Amino acid sequence: MSTRKPFIPDLQSSFYSLAFAASIVVFLSVFMEWLFAVTRPSFFEYAPFGQKILALLTDASLITVVCLLLLLPIILLKLLHKLDKAVKAYSYIYCAILGLILACLVLLLVDNFTYTLFKFGIVSTQGFLRGVYTAFFLAAGFFLFRKVIGLVNGIEKRIARFGKLKTRTIIILTGIFLAAWIVIPFATNNLAVTSGNSRLEQQTRKNLPDIVLITVDGVNAENMSLYGYANDTTPFLRELAPESLVAENTFSNAQGTIGSITSILTGRYPADTRVLRSVDILEGQESYQNLPALLKSYGYYTAQLAYSYYADAYRVNFQRAFDYANGKTYEQNLVFSWLSNNLPTHSVYFLQEMYTRLTDRLGHIFFIQDMTDPYRRVTEAPEKINDEQKLDAALALLESEDAPVFVHIHWLGTHGPKFYPAEQEFSKGVDISLQGKFDPRLYDDSILEFDRTLEDFYQQLQTRGLAENTLLIVASDHSLKWTVDRLPLLFHFPASSISGQVKGNVENLDIAPTILDYLGVEKPGWMSGMSLLHPDSNHALVFIAAIPKSTKNPDTGKIVYPEPEPPFYQFGRMTVVSCERWYRLNLDTLVFDQGKVKHYQGDCSNDSFGIEDASEAIAGHLAEFGFDVESLHDTDASQP
């Protein structure tokens, strides 16, 4: 006669069997996430193999130790007699926790599989389908809870066979193993973090200005009436210009938002930071070398109001940079901040990625917070991105904070290829729902919407008595369609104290040195940009980095990028601009193309820079930042 299995199996456990089970569960879970990270384009892509292994072992050991600390109540209960029922109840709870850890692993594996193959996953679900994932997760958790009990029972039986001496030996060796992979990284991580110049540390809000840096996404100067465009797309900025410092010929340093914002906030070239794509991060001491971290050392409260994927400082691994960034605060991340100061970059970042990937998905399926597809939301979704709320939040911060404030705001409403302005002035009669890509009329309306909102923001600064002590900076991260075009750059200094035009070529990485120069802070040696507060502030040459050129799969329509390979890896194209001419080298094919900057402001009649000079300049630029440029000697400078 067959006996029916109990709904919840009987648990035969000890501290040792639970500890071994926790170690197995954690190492399996971390290993699977690590395997996913190292087999796809990620922050691990260019890390030495030893650093990848170190990240795996260190993070798995850290999480295991945390889980083992949760076993301390069992030891305490054991010390108290006649509490066997309490010990057993807690042991069941502990097994349930391990079951949920495995359920999280299964959830991530399923989501990775479905999204990779079918472009469908947790992020795609709404309403009822979110509940399906919730039910799946809970069912998996209960099923794996039962399996964990079986695992613990099996380990307990083997421990009984080993005897006390062998068991203790295994426990000691396991403890040494875990301790080694935690202690070694802490002991060998000799990251030296330099602080800012102490000259301004005692300054008060009264003599330090608030700084508001607004980067508007994908806006060309040629589409702004500030720069003479026929459609009056920027009436407010046009009126503010005579009382401001305006750069006439400004260029980005990177093709996309992530690389460009990183250059703006560090004053460094992408070839130096190695940040171009969404998976690139700042590493080691370089993660501390940034403008907001420097301002923090002088007493500034720093905040970023951008977007948590494409322009997020935490995602790029900025350290000690922002007190608040896109919903996260420094206080909420004290553990990660401490780990960042004591562990190698890849170990900490892998830990953060695991935490973020898991909490985003759990928050979505349990209806705590919505998880959104960042690419679709920015490029295709008609719902409004809360740009206006960013400015409202900045106003509240400027008014309430006692310390001087540095706030970076990234405006996404002008990001193509589709635009959804609230009002249609230049696009009257155009059905927004039927628009094609990069409609110029809707693009102009989106720029006008930004200008009007900015005007309201500035008027609020005046009304609240903040304008006279605020440095307002308006810039753009890159051009529309990622071409080589002029970008806007305007500095409106407190009390309109500095005004004029900068005629020569400038770069976005000049923003940080200009801010420091105005504050009287010496530019650190790691910044490549120059201050625009000097008459000779222009670059003879401008360098713009871009990822490799993509292709489209004719069968699936999917955009495909070539695999990064040495010696240039994610750097697929490099452009150099001399006066009004640009020369772009494809680093894969070593073929140049070239052209003229549209509506360039200035006289370039004496510019004799040619394609051979461009080849030499690009090779020198890359070599300066550690690239092997031997292959560039084969560049065919005669290519048009």
CATH number at residue 499: 3.40.720.10
User: Do residues 486 and 575 share a domain?
Assistant: no
Query: Does residue 382 fall inside a structural domain?
Result: yes
Residue 193, pLDDT > 60, answer: no
Q: Which of 188, 211, 235 is the last residue of a domain?
A: 188
Query: Does residue 546 fall inside a structural domain?
Result: no
Q: Across residues 22-41, what is the average pLDDT?
A: 94
Query: Does residue 5 fall inside a structural domain?
Result: no
Q: What is the pLDDT of residues 626-635, one digit of tens each?
A: 999 999 976 6
Maximum alpha-carbon separation in the chain: 101
User: Do residues 172 and 267 share a domain?
Assistant: no
User: Do residues 559 and 528 share a domain?
Assistant: no
Neighbours of 207 (CB within 10 A): 9
Q: What confidence tier does 486 reach under pLDDT thresholds 50, 70, 90? A: very high
How many domains does one find in the chain?
Answer: 3
Write down the pLDDT at residue 198. 40
User: Do residues 308 and 411 share a domain?
Assistant: yes
Asked whether the beta carbons of 448 and 426 are under 8 A apart, the reply is yes
Q: What is the DSSP letter of 569?
A: B
Look up the domain containing 561 and give its range. Answer: 551-634
Q: What confidence tier does 201 reach under pLDDT thresholds 50, 70, 90? A: very low
Q: What percent of the chain has pLDDT over 70?
A: 90
User: Do residues 156 and 207 share a domain?
Assistant: no
Q: What is the pLDDT of residues 100-124, one digit of tens each?
A: 999 999 999 999 888 877 778 888 8
Question: In the block, which residue shows the tokens 């990622």?
Answer: 482
Residue 163, pLDDT > 80, answer: no
**Structural tokens at position 161:** 């066979």
Mean pLDDT is lowest, of 89-98, 534-543, 628-637, for: 628-637
User: Do residues 517 and 594 share a domain?
Assistant: no
Query: Does residue 2 fall inside a structural domain?
Result: no
Query: Average model confidence (pLDDT) for the chain?
Result: 88
User: Do residues 465 and 614 share a domain?
Assistant: no
User: Do residues 92 and 182 share a domain?
Assistant: yes
**Structural tokens at position 242:** 């005579």
- Helix or strand or coil: residue 90? helix
User: Do residues 158 and 270 share a domain?
Assistant: no
User: Do residues 86 and 205 share a domain?
Assistant: no
Query: Does residue 426 fall inside a structural domain?
Result: yes
Asked whether the beta carbons of 44 and 52 are under 8 A apart, the reply is yes
Write down the pLDDT at residue 639. 47
Q: What confidence tier does 81 reach under pLDDT thresholds 50, 70, 90? A: low
Q: Across residues 367-379, what is the average pLDDT?
A: 66
Neighbours of 50 (CB within 10 A): 8
- The phi and psi torsions of 13 (rounded to 5 degrees) equal -140, 165
- Helix or strand or coil: residue 356? helix
Q: Which of 132, 162, 188 is the last residue of a domain?
A: 188
Query: Does residue 363 fall inside a structural domain?
Result: yes
User: Do residues 517 and 390 share a domain?
Assistant: yes
Q: What is the pLDDT of residues 542-598, one digit of tens each?
A: 999 999 987 766 665 566 677 788 899 999 999 999 999 999 999 999 999 999 999
Query: Cα 375 vs. chain centroid, distance in angstroms?
Result: 14
Q: Which of 155, 188, 221 is the last residue of a domain?
A: 188
3-state DSSP percent of the chain in helix, strand and coil, to 5: 50, 10, 40
Q: What is the pLDDT of residues 218-247, one digit of tens each?
A: 999 999 999 999 999 999 999 999 999 999
d(CA 375, CA 106): 25
Mean pLDDT is lowest, of 186-200, 224-238, 324-338, for: 186-200
Instruction: Identify residue 561 by its one-letter amino acid code.
Output: Y
User: Do residues 523 and 559 share a domain?
Assistant: no
Across the beta sheet with 500-507, what order do the strands follow?
328-329, 324-325, 301-305, 405-411, 210-216, 470-476, 489-492, 245-251, 500-507
Query: Does residue 271 fall inside a structural domain?
Result: yes
Query: Does residue 10 fall inside a structural domain?
Result: no
